[in-house]
Structure 1
Amino acid sequence: MQQNNGVGKSQLISFAVFSLILMGVMFYFQSKQQPVEDGAKPSVQPVQKSNVPQLQRHPDTASIQKVQLKNDLLTVDFTTLGGQIANVKLNKFNAFDEKIKDKPVLLFSGNNADYGFQFKDKSGKLVDTKDLIFKSTTDGNTISMQANAGEATITFIYTLLDQYTIDFKVRTQGLTSLVSDNKADFVWNYNVREIEKGRSQEQTHTEFVYAFNNYKSYDYDSRGDMNEEKEILNWIGVKQQFFSALIESESGFKNSSGHQEVIEKGEFLKKFHYNGHVDLVANELNQDFKWYFMPLDLKLLKSYGKNFDEILPLGWSFIGFINRGFFIPVYNMLSSWGIAAGWVIFLMTIAVKFILSPIMYKQHKLSAMMRVIRPEIEEVQEKYKKADPMKKQQATMEVYRKAGVNQFAGCLPGLVQIPIFYALFRFFPNMLDLRGKSFWFVDDLTAYDDVIKLPFNIPFLGEHLSVFALACTIVILIYTIMSAGNMQQPTQEGMPNMKPLMYIFPITFMFFLNSAASGLSWYYFVSNAINIVIILVIKYFILDEKKIHAQIQENKAKPKKEGRFQTRMREMMEKAQAQQRQVEQMKKQQQKKK
């Protein structure tokens, strides 16, 4: 009976040659990316107008003016139409654009956002501050805007504070003569502009975010309507992949509701509408608010102490703990050495492999033990070929038990990898420090690489092929072929053969990685390449199959005590056999009666 001896030395040589070829291809693509010379100016094409209608504003009049406040991080323009923030530019960041170099990150601009307070007067007519023309005065980093609504005076006071914060105070006088209600509606409309490379990925990360329960609780909404009628929101915002715009209310927003709508094409990703109540005290609106226009940097978000760090989608519970407690600190430590981000990911991969090495060693040892006892397993399957499938399964498990092989222990490495994979799936597209970091031919490790552009669209794949995703898929396929040789065929009739599914998985993985962050593809390319090296090293330099065979024979000679899992499996099989015999007896009795 012929045994499968696993990987031969010729395969080791083949893998080494393949790796060199693959690295050569990557360097080739890198060399094809010509840098722009310092003196060269890229041609700037006029920006196409979006098919999404702009938010409605009044036509320009001579009385409408704009005033600007600026610090190192923010440039903010205010308009006297509605007394609103008209433009917000984050000074330290650039948006992705294939044609425009150094395109600024603009959260509010071009009438894509408006907000204001709505009151009902005593006749039932709606008064909206967005329709009022304010007069402005500037004093240092503070702008005061004042408008009249009937006999009432409404004053908005904006102060640009440190970092990314704008203090926003609302004061009214004489509003009691105008309104008959004890509340005002705060209404915010926001068409979110595309900033990053990879529309679908950024669209997925664009959603409502809000805190309540005195900043202790946090929630988000990425689809359709949001309704928080019972909670008092401390702040409400809209986050994108790396940036957020949010407003905080000192007294809180009540009876909140919102709606979002996906925009398929154009410069905008989604439309947002929010409505929340704020209280009037003695029929006057005297409330304090703050606007925040921030990059989603974990350290920055934590510094505010208002649960802003929950905006960063690093994963819930244990997944988030892995990112916050391991991947982010390790990345920060390695990047502080001044090495390229791609090599930081490379070293992170090695660190993870080192931590998981005891589990991986046990997995490969188990694979070697199963390969050694395979002839005995095949003999049992042949012996009970025509017998009851349950007996064949019991006989197979008895061979494993006597040999001291726990076949279910091989599931442990796979289970360990699941939370790590999901943590990395959250880490790479949300790590601000990786944004815009290039590596070889990749211009941004938080987005896909599209070096290979296709003249047509492939469903679920797009109009490009990611080199990193393609390389990762090939390496995963090689690793699967090398490790699948140890997989047993189904021991019961009707059970599916998992081997074909294992080969299909790397191909389907390509569709997932092709539009994912290239840093994730690079990580898994390195991870699976290391897996292949580990298999070869363990096979040829660490594990001796002759010694393993001798150990198995010793295990057979020793009396074996069943573990709890094995006992339960045996009891379940015996119970199933008893039920099967009972059913057969009942069938025989019914046939006799007939």
Structure 2
Amino acid sequence: MNEQRNMITALVLSALVLLGWALLSDKFFPTANKPATQIVNGKTVPLTPPAVAAANAPAQVQDRNKVLAQTPRVKILTPKLAGSIDLKGAQIDDLTLTTQRDTIAKDSPPVRLFSPQGTKDAYFAGFGWSGQNVALPDANTLWTATGDVLAPGKPVTLTWNNQQGQGFAIKLSVDENYLFTVQQSVTNGAGRPIALRPYSLVSRTGPSKDPSSWQAHVGPIGVMGGIAQYKTNWKDLDEAGAAGQKFQSTGGWLGFSDKYWLAAVIPDPKAQVDAAFASASGQYQAEFSPAAAPVAPNQTATTTSYLFAGGKDATLLDTYDDRYHFDKLDHAIDWGWFRIVEKPIFYLLDWLFRQVGNFGVAILLLTVIVRAIMFPIAQKQFRSANAMKAVQPKMKALQERHKEDKPRLQEEMMKLYREEKINPLAGCLPVLLQIPIFFSLYKVLTLTLEMRHQPFVLWIKDLSAPDPLTPVNLFGFLPFEPTGFLHLSVLAILLGGTMWLQFKFNPQMNMDPTQKQIFALMPWFMMFIMSPFAAGLQIYYIASNLITVGQMQLLNRRSPKTST
């Protein structure tokens, strides 16, 4: 009867863990990217995501190509960017990331970041001035360009004269990656001083299609006063409206973040600026402006700012911080609490990838390195577990002798531990050390641009997405696709099997029957819990489990046999 009751208890607890995880994981611990492939009739094919209408999109959405043809433009051409600058309004509103594709399909178009006003998913950057008693350029101003192509080493200057004695210029430069340098100049040819405030802004229509979560912020983002702004979301801006959220800062930056992409305006690191997020009719804006400065007659005032528009390449963001002294631009990636662990793991994994050319192999090598570093701890844990197993008869005798006197039993147990030189908590250390490693690898796999759409071998074409191969639909031969933890993938089954092997070879601790049954069931419901996670994370744990089994076999052969 007791055994039956214990088994029922174990099953109920397992079900609660499984169902509870399914309910909470999407909110607090999102799993992986959307699948990049699916298995159809046993073959791996690219998965084309369904079209999604932009939230709060304009009622009259115009064709992008027609809009681009309506006004004169300067081309943008770099190794990673292609697009154009609209000379009407001096807006960078046409930008694609030429080295990044929407899907893994060979004919997939490049990722589009910016699109002109009036088109689907309008998104652009603009620069100008505010002030009084001066005719200023606006969204309808037609600028003159000094060249027809903006490229690395080929800056372009936009000029306009208000016919009242003031001349305005915007000199744009771009590097080989994603950074634009913007120099705004005003020349006062009138006989009186003027005071103008230059501004830089990023504006987008509708929120990001990427979900924001507790662990991965998507939406309004920036660093103001040295503090990263991760708490502000789209709803906050809707509620604030045109009044917006305002900040004052020296340096810093602000803009909008998708999961992998960022558009942000960055003032001179030494400039004191007023900055704000605002919203109106589904249009979101991030802008900053330094204090107004007087421009004397026949003088020119110039301010420098920057625009980052591209992929959140972790190495590149760090490089920009070092080179230009930006204030924590690397915080555009929401590394979270374990940043101190996550970034070294990322850099090690990225270095391994550059050595071997395959991220899956790099993950396997990372697993070997992690397990090798932890081997002395695992060895100590194994010895402690064996020692605990050896003294179980003495522990049971003490429990029987002092079952009515709990304080005395605790005292005698501690005395036994000291005599036998046993640390009952030694087994917890490897588990505790694995938590930040697990979490760090999860973040690296699901947040870093470097892992996006990286293949491994065979059917695994995207290590940052779940394994698409599952026996639930007979490996794609049945016409449906199981989702969530019902998508029991091949990698998840291998993970459960290797975890079962690990528990089998682990020295048995002094557990009651219920605990033993829960541990016996754990590998199998862990299959369901881990199945929606990134394939790369599952590969790490499969390899880690197999290495652990090998280590246990080695330690078993070296250790004297114990009897109970």
- TM value normalised by structure 1: 0.68
Please give the alpha-carbon distance, in whole angstroms, between the structure 2 residues aligned to 1:372 and 1:292. Answer: 62
Please give the alpha-carbon distance, in whole angstroms, between the structure 2 residues aligned to 1:451 and 1:419. Answer: 29
**Is 1:74–1:91's contact at 8 Å kept on the other side of the alignment?**
yes
How big is the shift at 1:359?
Answer: 0.8
Please give the alpha-carbon distance, in whole angstroms, between the structure 2 residues aligned to 1:462 and 1:406. Answer: 37
How big is the shift at 1:145?
Answer: 3.4
Query: Which residue is equivalent to 1:244?
Result: 262
Of 155, 160, 164, the match for 2:174: 160
Please give the alpha-carbon distance, in whole angstroms, between the structure 2 residues aligned to 1:255 and 1:312. Answer: 20
1:427-484 CA distances to partner (integer Å, 9 max, x unpaired)? 22244443322113221112223334874776xx277444434432443355346548
Q: Does 1:131 align with 2:139?
A: yes
Q: Secondary structure at the match of 1:133?
A: coil
How big is the shift at 1:71?
Answer: 2.3
1:393-419 CA distances to partner (integer Å, 9 max, x unpaired)? 223333323322221222222222223
Please give the alpha-carbon distance, in whole angstroms, between the structure 1 residues aligned to 2:355 and 2:69. Answer: 56
Of 351, 356, 368, the match for 2:374: 356
Of 20, 34, 42, the match for 1:32: 42
How big is the shift at 1:373?
Answer: 1.4
Q: Does 1:290 align with 2:297?
A: no
> Structure 1 51/191 Cα, relative in aligned 2: closer, same or farther at 3 Å?
closer
Query: Which residue is equivalent to 2:111?
Result: 105
Of 271, 277, 285, the match for 2:289: 277
Please give the alpha-carbon distance, in whole angstroms, between the structure 1 residues aligned to 2:448 and 2:442. Answer: 11
1:233-268 CA distances to partner (integer Å, 9 max, x unpaired)? 33334344433322222264623232699xxxxxxx
> Structure 1 445/533 Cα, relative in aligned 2: closer, same or farther at 3 Å?
same
Of 209, 218, 223, the match for 1:206: 218
Q: Does 1:311 align with 2:317?
A: no
Query: Which residue is equivalent to 1:119?
Result: 130
Please give the alpha-carbon distance, in whole angstroms, between the structure 1 residues aligned to 2:515 and 2:331. Answer: 40
**Is 2:262–2:332's contact at 8 Å kept on the other side of the alignment?**
no
Deviates more, 1:150-159 or 1:64-73: 150-159
1:317-351 CA distances to partner (integer Å, 9 max, x unpaired)? 8x4444444x3454345334435321221122112
Please give the alpha-carbon distance, in whole angstroms, between the structure 2 residues aligned to 1:96 and 1:253. Answer: 41
Query: Which residue is equivalent to 1:566?
Result: none
Q: Secondary structure at the match of 1:359?
A: helix
> Structure 1 177/202 Cα, relative in aligned 2: closer, same or farther at 3 Å?
farther
> Structure 1 529/210 Cα, relative in aligned 2: closer, same or farther at 3 Å?
same
Please give the alpha-carbon distance, in whole angstroms, between the structure 1 residues aligned to 2:49 and 2:552. Answer: 53
Deviates more, 1:297-306 or 1:113-122: 113-122
**Is 1:155–1:172's contact at 8 Å kept on the other side of the alignment?**
yes
How big is the shift at 1:363?
Answer: 0.7
Q: Secondary structure at the match of 1:188?
A: strand
**Is 2:341–2:437's contact at 8 Å kept on the other side of the alignment?**
yes
> Structure 1 412/278 Cα, relative in aligned 2: closer, same or farther at 3 Å?
same
1:1-25 CA distances to partner (integer Å, 9 max, x unpaired)? xxxxxxxxxxxxxxxxxxxxxxxxx
**Is 1:107–1:193's contact at 8 Å kept on the other side of the alignment?**
no
Query: Which residue is equivalent to 2:158?
Result: 145
How big is the shift at 1:230?
Answer: 3.8
How big is the shift at 1:50?
Answer: 3.3
**Structure 2: segments with no counterpart, 5+ residues:** 1-38, 238-244, 474-479
How big is the shift at 1:103?
Answer: 1.9
**Is 2:172–2:180's contact at 8 Å kept on the other side of the alignment?**
yes
**Is 2:485–2:529's contact at 8 Å kept on the other side of the alignment?**
no
- Read off the aligned partner of 1:109 and give its amino acid letter: S
Aligned residues: 486
Please give the alpha-carbon distance, in whole angstroms, between the structure 1 residues aligned to 2:58 and 2:254. Answer: 22
Find the structure with the greater CA-based Rg.
1
Please give the alpha-carbon distance, in whole angstroms, between the structure 2 residues aligned to 1:399 and 1:167. Answer: 70
1:151-171 CA distances to partner (integer Å, 9 max, x unpaired)? 565433323344333222223
**Is 2:359–2:455's contact at 8 Å kept on the other side of the alignment?**
yes
**Structure 1: segments with no counterpart, 5+ residues:** 1-28, 37-41, 262-269, 491-496, 550-594
Query: Which residue is equivalent to 1:485?
Result: 508
Please give the alpha-carbon distance, in whole angstroms, between the structure 2 residues aligned to 1:542 and 1:515. Answer: 39
Q: Secondary structure at the match of 2:114?
A: coil
Please give the alpha-carbon distance, in whole angstroms, between the structure 1 residues aligned to 2:41 and 2:50. Answer: 30
**Is 2:72–2:86's contact at 8 Å kept on the other side of the alignment?**
yes
Please give the alpha-carbon distance, in whole angstroms, between the structure 2 residues aligned to 1:420 and 1:295. Answer: 25
Query: Which residue is equivalent to 1:378?
Result: 396
Of 533, 545, 548, the match for 1:516: 533
- Read off the aligned partner of 1:395 and give its amino acid letter: E
**Is 1:206–1:222's contact at 8 Å kept on the other side of the alignment?**
no
- Read off the aligned partner of 1:295 and give its amino acid letter: G
> Structure 1 153/462 Cα, relative in aligned 2: closer, same or farther at 3 Å?
farther
How big is the shift at 1:514?
Answer: 3.8
Alignment of 1:392-411 (within 5 A): 392-411=409-428
- Read off the aligned partner of 2:77 and give its amino acid letter: K
- Read off the aligned partner of 1:289 and give its amino acid letter: S
Please give the alpha-carbon distance, in whole angstroms, between the structure 1 residues aligned to 2:506 and 2:193. Answer: 75
Of 310, 313, 317, the match for 1:301: 317
How big is the shift at 1:189?
Answer: 1.8
- TM value normalised by structure 2: 0.71
Q: Secondary structure at the match of 2:75?
A: strand
**Is 1:259–1:272's contact at 8 Å kept on the other side of the alignment?**
yes
> Structure 1 51/206 Cα, relative in aligned 2: closer, same or farther at 3 Å?
closer
- Read off the aligned partner of 1:221 and give its amino acid letter: Y
Please give the alpha-carbon distance, in whole angstroms, between the structure 2 residues aligned to 1:478 and 1:179. Answer: 81
How big is the shift at 1:188?
Answer: 2.6
1:74-117 CA distances to partner (integer Å, 9 max, x unpaired)? 2131113321001112222222266x733202211254213444
Please give the alpha-carbon distance, in whole angstroms, between the structure 2 residues aligned to 1:538 and 1:228. Answer: 61
Please give the alpha-carbon distance, in whole angstroms, between the structure 1 residues aligned to 2:246 and 2:551. Answer: 52
Please give the alpha-carbon distance, in whole angstroms, between the structure 2 residues aligned to 1:89 and 1:259. Answer: 25
1:273-294 CA distances to partner (integer Å, 9 max, x unpaired)? 3233322211697422222234
- Read off the aligned partner of 2:498 and give its amino acid letter: V
- Read off the aligned partner of 1:104 and give its amino acid letter: P
**Is 1:315–1:426's contact at 8 Å kept on the other side of the alignment?**
yes
Query: Which residue is equivalent to 1:256?
Result: 275
Calculate percent identity across the aligned residue pairs. Answer: 18
- Please report the RMSD computed on the Cα atoms of aligned residues, expressed in angstroms: 4.5
* Higher RCO (CA-CA < 8 Å; seq separation 6+): 2
Q: Does 1:443 align with 2:461?
A: yes
Query: Which residue is equivalent to 1:53?
Result: 57
Of 59, 64, 77, the match for 2:71: 64
Q: Does 1:88 align with 2:98?
A: no
